[in-house]
Amino acid sequence: MGTNQSSAKQYVYDVLETITKRNPNETEFHQAAKEILISLVPVMEKYPIYREQGILERITEPERLITFRVPWVDDNGKVQVNRGFRVQFNSTLGPYKGGLRFHPSVNASIIKFLGLEQIFKNALTGQPIGGGKGGSDFDPKGKSDWEIMRFTQSFMTELYRYIGPDIDVPAGDIGVGAREIGYLFGQYKRIRSGNEAGVLTGKGLGYGGSLVRKEATGYGCVYFVNEMLKSKGLDYEGATVVVSGSGNVAIYAMEKAMQFGAKVVACSDSGGFIYDKNGIDLETVRRLKEVERKRISDYTKEHPQAVYVEGCEKIWTIPCDIALPCATQNEIDEASAKLLVANGVKAVGEGANMPSTLEAIDVFLEAGVLFGPGKAANAGGVAVSALEMSQNSMRFSWRFHEVDDKLQEIMKNIYRDSIQASEEFDHPGNLVVGSNIAGFRKVADAMIAQGVI
Ligand code: GLU
């Protein structure tokens, strides 16, 4: 091992150790940092300037992390208190950009892992957006519409101080969809006494939203996987696909995969999964989850040939050609990855953020499975969010096919840039290494240009 190589490796491990010490018990944040930083060893070796400029120390420390109390009154007149978060991680490329997650598991570790991923993902899109993320440990499950509104308004009553169309632009994530964005936008507008459309993305089409935003993460993931398949002369036609989740990402991943000729046989929610050998009926899933806000188990009432199995992680026992994990972090562990490989999976595209554990990723890469990591494969959502910001600034709306064409081009570019980086740094075809390096270099070079700040 050359001196440069060993010292580059040492540098990366020293930074990882500082992260672990400085952020005790934040396991998800450590995991995301480890995946990214290990990929960057060959870059540190080739370009010592990144080390001289302290780029890794700076890029892994958020510019700021805001936490705040969110008090609200439930339908029984009881006072409830949740915790709100916004991490403004990196503003080198543009205003902080990233979604809000409402889920009981939300804590500083989850928000920081998501924020760190977002920096690199946003850079990969090629658009002028920095990295941020936020949310709350509020659990939307079982809450009435009025409770959702009261909580969301209270959340914005504090968050508004820190955001703005040129400062920080939140959007949705798990538990935050069109309804929540509408309430957040209404409350922001009321406090600010003005219509700053570009302060949030994922808005309704009638008040500044963009066509294709709601479909973008799922469609983008399927487009990205299509590029991976094409590189091996494969396609979706006749392929068996398993998609975990049944939220916004999963629904539109299923729709696009079906349009491309695939047969989607399973999807899930946090309670369990459904398997329909005839192919999932998407209209039923959409109505159950988007309109009636019911459980996925209800699908079998209308489709008796389908089976419901409790325990969402068991979805990975179903043999498939293509797996699209679109539910949540760490939903595929080493054992599930081995099972998928044994059952002949050819491609995995991460619609969710960090759905595969580090061990699972190794299993896929060692088995030669085409693997599209989340920060590349699911970047379509935030990419169309940035297009929504552009349209808001122009006070003009593009047509569906115009946004969809731009989305397809962005996903192709991310694939191309990631493959090129993987080749330049001796890991040809490894999109984990490639996407980390391609995203990193865009941010790091701009950080150097802007000085030590
Ligand atoms: N939450 C999405 C993500 O993980 C979208 C963020 C956005 O549109 O700003 O990228």
Q: Is 408 exposed, middle or buried (0-12, 13-18, 19+ CB in 10 A)?
A: middle
Contact 363, 334 (CB under 8 A): yes
- Nearest atom, ligand 1, residue 378 CA: 10
Mean local confidence (pLDDT), 11-30? 98
- Give the integer Cα–Cα distance in Å for 390 and 126: 14
- Nearest atom, ligand 1, residue 98 CA: 9
- Nearest atom, ligand 1, residue 118 CA: 10
Task: Choose the residue to mutate in 110, 125, 217, 389 for probing ligand 1, maximizing ligand atoms within 8 Å of C-beta.
Answer: 217
Structure tokens at 227: 């590029």
* Tokens 């209209």 belong to residue: 283
Give Cα 139 to chain centroid, integer Å.
19
For residue 311, give the nearest of 347, 292, 336 by alpha carbon.
336
Q: Is 382 in the pocket of ligand 1 (CB under 6 A)?
A: yes
Angle at 302 between CA 296 and CA 305, to 5 degrees: 90
- Give the integer Cα–Cα distance in Å for 281 and 139: 28
Same fold flag, 64-196 and 216-372: yes
Count of other CB atoms within 10 angstroms of residue 24: 9
Mean local confidence (pLDDT), 376-404? 98
Contact 208, 395 (CB under 8 A): no
Contact 155, 137 (CB under 8 A): no
CATH assignment of 216-372, among 3.40.50.720, 3.20.20.370, 1.20.120.10, 2.30.42.10: 3.40.50.720
DSSP 255: H
pLDDT at 1: 47
pLDDT at 199: 98
Query: What SS3 state is found at 66?
Result: strand
The model's confidence at residue 399, banded by pLDDT at 50, 70 and 90, is very high
The model's confidence at residue 4, banded by pLDDT at 50, 70 and 90, is low
Count of other CB atoms within 10 angstroms of residue 34: 16
Mean local confidence (pLDDT), 217-231? 98
Angle at 178 between CA 174 and CA 182, to 5 degrees: 120
- Superfamily of domain 64-196, CATH level 4: Leucine Dehydrogenase, chain A, domain 1 (3.40.50.10860)
133 is catalytic: yes
Percent residues over pLDDT 70 in the chain: 99
pLDDT at 339: 98
The model's confidence at residue 96, banded by pLDDT at 50, 70 and 90, is very high
- What is the 101 CA–ligand 1 centroid distance (Å)? 10
Q: For residue range 258-305, what is the model confidence (pLDDT) as tens digits?
A: 999 999 999 999 999 999 999 999 999 999 999 999 999 999 999 999
From atom 9 of ligand 1, which residue's Cα is the shortest distance away? 98
- Nearest atom, ligand 1, residue 202 CA: 8
Report the chain's mean pLDDT, rounded to a whole number. Answer: 97
Count of other CB atoms within 10 angstroms of residue 203: 22
For residue 220, give the nearest of 121, 318, 131, 299 by alpha carbon.
121
- What is the 344 CA–ligand 1 centroid distance (Å)? 31
* Tokens 């969110």 belong to residue: 70
- Give the integer Cα–Cα distance in Å for 352 and 374: 6
Mean local confidence (pLDDT), 323-336? 98
From atom 10 of ligand 1, which residue's Cα is the shortest distance away? 382
**Above 90 in pLDDT, residue 377?**
yes
Which residue among 97, 112, 133, 256 is the active-site one?
Answer: 133
- What is the 300 CA–ligand 1 centroid distance (Å)? 31
- Give the integer Cα–Cα distance in Å for 203 and 391: 12
Q: Is 97 in the pocket of ligand 1 (CB under 6 A)?
A: yes
- What is the 131 CA–ligand 1 centroid distance (Å)? 10
Structure tokens at 135: 């949310």
Q: How many CA atoms lie within 13 A of 65 on its CB side?
A: 15
Q: Taking the domains of the chain in order of start, what are their residue ranges?
A: 3-60, 64-196, 216-372
Q: Is 392 in the pocket of ligand 1 (CB under 6 A)?
A: no
Angle at 353 between CA 295 and CA 415, to 5 degrees: 125
Structure tokens at 445: 């070079």
363 CB contacts (<8 Å, ≥6 apart)? 334, 337, 338, 341
